[in-house]
C-alpha cells in the first residue's frame, strides 16, 4: 500500500489557544481536512481570511476513495494553485465504453470539441488530492497567509449563537474551547457536526451493495472508463473498470442487497471475483477494499445560522457519475467568495442564504441524475430489467437509444439560472454561456480564458466598449476586453457571441455568468452587480 497513508501530514502540535483562560475567537473554523475542507481553507486564505482547520486525524484518507475529478473541478483547482500538480500526476481520459454481457454496445467522448485547457476527467486517488492541498497550505503559510491545520483536534460539542459559534475540542493533551464567527462543516458523510446539531438527511437509500477494490497490476487496458451490464464474470450485476496512477486500477462490482459485508471484504472472497473479471493470466495484488451502499440524500438546508455544511456532510450521492467530491468542490467555489464579502462587510450575511439556494439546487440536480443512474443500473422489477436490456440491445446499432443508456451520468456543473443572484438574460447568445452558467473555456492565442478571469468580479467585453472597471457598493468589476478579430478558432464566438455583434458579460468570482447584454449600459451593469451581492432583492 502507498506509504503516503503512514506519514502524518499535519501532526499534532499544542496551540496557544489551549493555554488561554478564555476561548480564542477565530473568523472561520473548518471542521474536516478532507478535499472539501482543505479546498475551502486554501480558497479563504488566498483571499486574506484567517482560517483554522480542525481534524481528528493527521494523515490523508485511507484508500483511493474519490478518484474521478471533472473538468470543472480542475478549473477550480487551478484557482487554488494545485491544478497543474493534479493533472501532471493524474490519468487523463475523455472516452468511455459500455458493454452488455460480453460485447461493446457503444462508446462516448465527454469532450469531443477542442479548445479547452483541461480534459473532461482525470483519475487520481483522493489521497494525492489531499496531499497537494496540504502542500498548498504549507506554501501559503510560508508566504505569510493566515491558515492553520490542527491535527488530532476532535470536535466534541458545538453550539450556535446569534453572532458566533462555540466549539469544544479534544486533543491528546486534553480539551479546550474555541469561538468562531463562522464554522464550515466539511467532516464527511458521517458528519459528527451534523449529528451534534441534531440534523439529518432526507432522501433514498437503495437496496444494493457494491464492492470497491483497488488492485495493483500491469495491464494493457486502455485509459478509458469501461462499464459492464450483466457481464459473464458478474452475471446479473454490473461492473466498472478505471485506471489510476501508479499502476492502480479501480474495480467496482455489484454484489446485491442481502450480503454479509464483512465476509465479502475478505481477500479469499474478493480475489476470485477479480480473477474472474481479469482472467487467469493477469497478476495483481489487492491495495484497498471497501463496500458501499447507494445513497441519494441531502440535508434540508445547508446553512444553519453560523454553521454552514459542504460536501458529503451536506449531501450524498451514489459514486457512479463522480458527483460526490466534484460537487463538494463546487460547494466551496460557491461559498467562499460570498463568505469573504460578508466578513469584509461588503454584503450582509443574508448573501449566504444564496449559497443554500444555489447548492441545494445543485444537490437536487445531482441526486436526480444519480437516482436515475441507480435505477437503470439496478432495476427493481422484471419489467424494468427487460426495458433496460432492450435499450442496451438497441444501442449497439441505433444511435437514438444511446442517450437512454445510463451507466452513471457523469458530473457536470449546474447552472444557477433561477438563482436570486442571476439577472435576466439580455443577449441573444449561446445557451451554454447564459446567465447562471459556468463560463466555458476558450483558447486565446497562447493562453486560455478561465485563468484570465481569476477569482474576481469581471466585466468581460467582446467587441464592445466599457470602462476599465465598475465600482458599485464597494465592489469592483475589472474589465477584460476581447475581440472576435483575434478569435482564430471561432471558439469565442461559438461559446459567447453566437450571432451577436458585441457582448458584455458580468462574471462572478466563481466564474459563473451573473448577467450579459449586447452593449454596455452603466445602469444595468450596476444593478446586476448589486443583485449579485444581494442588494437588489430579498434573499
Which is it for the CA torsion 276, 282, 284, 288, positive or negative?
A: negative
β-pairing, 315-316 with 201-217? unpaired
3-state DSSP of 110-174: CCCCCCCCCCCEEECCHHHHHHHHHHHHHHHHHCCCCEEEEECCEEEEEEECCCCEEEEEEECCE
**Among 380, 420, 489, 395, which residue's Cα sits nearest to residue 114?**
489
What would the CATH number be for the domain defined by 431-532?
3.40.30.10
CB count within 10 Å of CB 488 equals 10
Look at the block and give the residue holding cell 487467469: 280
- Tell me what pLDDT residue 539 has: 45
Residue 371 to residues 72, 316, 335: CA-CA distances in angstroms?
22, 11, 26
Residues 293/252, Cβ–Cβ less than 8 Å = no
- Tell me what pLDDT residue 98 has: 93
- Tell me what pLDDT residue 42 has: 98
**Boundaries of every domain in the chain:** 3-16+23-89+123-201+296-365, 202-295, 431-532
Task: Tell me which architecture the domain covering 3-16+23-89+123-201+296-365 has in CATH.
Answer: 3-Layer(bba) Sandwich (3.50)
What are the helix (H) ranges across 197-348? Answer: 261-264, 267-278, 324-344
Q: Exposure of 95 by Cβ count < 10 A (0-12 exposed, 13-18 middle, 19+ buried)?
A: middle
What would the CATH number be for the domain defined by 202-295?
3.30.9.10
CB count within 10 Å of CB 448 equals 19
**What is the C-alpha to C-alpha distance for residues 209 and 212, in angstroms, rounded to an integer?**
10
Per DSSP, what are the bridge partners of residue 121?
70, 93
- Tell me what pLDDT residue 538 has: 47
Per DSSP, what are the bridge partners of residue 447?
444
Q: Which residues contact 239 (CB under 8 A, 6 or more apart)?
A: 227, 228, 231, 233, 251, 252, 253, 254, 277
**Among 462, 431, 459, which residue's Cα sits nearest to residue 444?**
462
- Tell me what pLDDT residue 409 has: 65
**What is the C-alpha to C-alpha distance for residues 304 and 197, in angstroms, rounded to an integer?**
9
Residue 200 corresponds to which cell in the numbers above? 439529518
CB count within 10 Å of CB 384 equals 13
Residue 506 corresponds to which cell in the numbers above? 458580468
**Among 69, 2, 82, which residue's Cα sits nearest to residue 42?**
82
Which element (helix H / strand E) includes 481? strand 475-482
Residue 487 to residues 115, 433, 437, 492, 496: CA-CA distances in angstroms?
11, 17, 22, 6, 11
Is the pTM value of this prediction over 0.75? yes
Q: Give the three-class secondary structure for 415.
A: coil
Residues in the chain: 539
**What is the C-alpha to C-alpha distance for residues 130 and 58, in angstroms, rounded to an integer?**
12
Q: What is the dihedral of CA 102, 106, 110, 111, to 10 degrees?
A: 130
Look at the block and give the residue holding cell 489521497: 127
- Tell me what pLDDT residue 258 has: 81
**What is the C-alpha to C-alpha distance for residues 106 and 450, in angstroms, rounded to an integer?**
33
**What is the C-alpha to C-alpha distance for residues 76 and 74, in angstroms, rounded to an integer?**
5
β-pairing, 469-472 with 475-482? antiparallel
- Tell me what pLDDT residue 44 has: 98
CB count within 10 Å of CB 89 equals 16
**Among 4, 408, 411, which residue's Cα sits nearest to residue 210?**
408
Return per-residue pLDDT of the chain as tens, 539 residues: 566 666 678 889 999 999 999 999 999 999 999 999 999 999 999 999 999 999 999 887 776 678 889 899 999 999 999 999 999 999 988 888 999 999 999 888 877 778 899 988 899 999 999 999 999 999 999 999 999 999 999 999 999 999 999 999 999 999 999 999 999 999 998 999 999 999 999 887 776 788 989 999 988 888 888 999 999 999 999 999 989 999 999 999 998 878 888 899 999 999 999 999 999 889 999 988 988 877 788 999 999 999 999 999 999 887 665 667 899 999 999 999 999 999 999 999 999 999 999 999 998 888 888 778 778 888 878 899 999 999 999 999 999 998 888 876 666 788 999 999 999 999 999 999 999 999 999 999 889 999 999 899 999 999 999 999 999 988 999 999 999 988 889 999 999 999 999 999 999 999 999 999 999 999 999 999 999 998 865 44
Residues 503/428, Cβ–Cβ less than 8 Å = no
Amino acid at each position: 500500500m502507498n506509504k503516503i497513508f503512514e506519514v502524518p501530514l499535519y501532526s499534532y502540535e499544542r496551540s496557544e489557544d489551549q493555554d488561554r483562560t478564555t476561548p480564542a475567537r477565530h473568523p472561520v473554523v473548518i471542521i474536516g481536512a478532507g478535499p472539501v475542507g482543505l479546498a475551502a481553507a486554501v480558497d479563504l486564505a488566498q483571499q486574506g481570511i484567517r482560517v483554522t482547520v480542525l481534524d481528528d486525524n493527521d494523515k490523508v484518507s485511507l484508500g483511493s476513495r474519490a478518484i474521478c475529478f471533472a473538468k470543472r473541478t480542475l478549473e477550480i483547482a487551478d484557482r487554488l494553485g494545485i491544478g497543474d500538480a493534479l493533472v501532471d500526476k493524474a490519468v487523463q481520459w475523455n472516452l468511455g465504453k459500455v458493454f452488455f454481457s460480453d460485447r461493446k454496445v457503444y462508446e462516448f467522448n465527454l469532450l469531443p470539441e477542442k479548445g479547452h485547457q483541461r480534459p473532461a476527467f482525470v483519475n487520481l486517488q483522493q489521497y494525492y488530492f489531499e496531499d497537494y492541498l496540504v502542500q498548498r497550505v504549507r506554501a501559503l503559510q510560508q508566504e505569510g497567509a493566515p491558515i492553520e491545520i490542527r491535527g488530532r483536534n476532535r470536535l466534541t460539542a458545538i453550539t450556535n449563537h446569534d453572532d458566533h459559534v462555540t466549539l469544544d475540542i479534544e486533543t491528546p493533551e486534553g480539551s479546550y474551547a474555541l469561538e468562531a464567527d463562522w464554522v464550515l462543516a466539511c467532516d464527511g458523510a458521517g458528519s459528527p457536526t451534523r449529528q451534534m446539531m441534531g440534523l439529518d438527511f432526507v432522501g433514498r437509500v437503495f437496496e444494493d451493495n457494491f464492492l470497491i477494490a483497488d488492485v495493483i497490476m500491469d495491464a494493457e487496458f486502455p485509459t478509458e472508463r469501461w462499464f459492464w451490464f450483466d457481464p459473464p464474470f458478474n452475471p446479473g450485476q454490473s461492473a466498472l473498470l478505471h485506471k489510476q496512477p501508479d499502476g492502480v486500477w479501480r474495480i467496482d462490482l455489484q454484489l446485491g442487497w442481502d450480503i454479509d459485508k464483512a465476509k465479502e471484504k475478505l481477500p479469499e472472497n474478493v480475489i476470485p471475483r477479480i480473477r474472474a473479471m481479469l482472467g487467469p493470466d493477469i497478476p495483481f495484488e489487492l491495495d484497498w477494499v471497501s463496500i458501499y451502499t447507494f445513497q441519494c440524500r441531502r440535508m434540508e438546508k445547508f446553512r444553519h445560522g453560523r454553521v454552514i455544511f459542504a460536501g458529503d456532510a451536506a449531501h450524498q450521492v451514489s459514486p457512479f457519475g463522480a458527483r460526490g467530491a466534484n460537487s463538494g468542490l463546487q460547494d466551496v467555489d460557491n461559498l467562499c467568495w460570498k463568505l469573504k464579502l460578508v466578513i469584509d462587510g461588503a454584503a450582509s450575511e443574508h448573501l449566504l442564504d444564496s449559497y443554500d439556494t444555489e447548492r441545494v439546487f445543485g444537490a437536487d440536480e445531482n441526486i436526480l441524475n444519480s437516482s436515475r443512474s441507480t435505477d437503470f443500473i439496478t432495476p427493481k422489477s422484471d419489467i424494468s430489467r427487460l426495458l433496460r436490456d432492450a435499450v442496451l440491445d438497441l444501442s449497439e446499432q441505433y444511435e437514438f437509444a444511446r442517450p437512454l443508456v445510463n451507466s452513471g451520468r457523469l458530473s457536470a456543473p449546474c447552472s444557477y439560472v433561477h438563482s436570486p443572484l442571476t439577472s435576466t438574460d439580455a443577449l441573444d447568445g449561446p445557451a451554454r454561456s447564459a446567465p447562471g452558467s459556468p463560463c466555458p473555456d476558450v483558447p486565446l492565442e497562447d493562453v486560455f480564458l478561465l485563468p484570465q478571469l481569476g477569482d474576481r468580479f469581471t466585466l468581460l467585453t467582446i467587441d464592445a466598449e466599457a470602462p476599465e472597471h465598475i465600482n458599485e457598493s464597494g465592489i469592483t468589476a475589472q474589465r477584460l476586453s476581447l475581440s472576435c478579430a483575434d478569435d482564430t478558432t471561432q471558439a469565442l464566438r461559438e461559446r459567447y457571441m453566437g450571432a451577436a455583434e458585441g457582448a458584455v458579460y458580468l462574471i462572478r468570482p466563481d466564474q459563473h455568468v451573473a448577467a450579459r447584454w449586447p452593449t454596455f449600459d452603466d445602469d444595468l451593469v450596476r444593478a446586476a452587480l448589486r443583485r449579485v451581492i444581494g442588494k437588489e432583492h430579498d434573499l
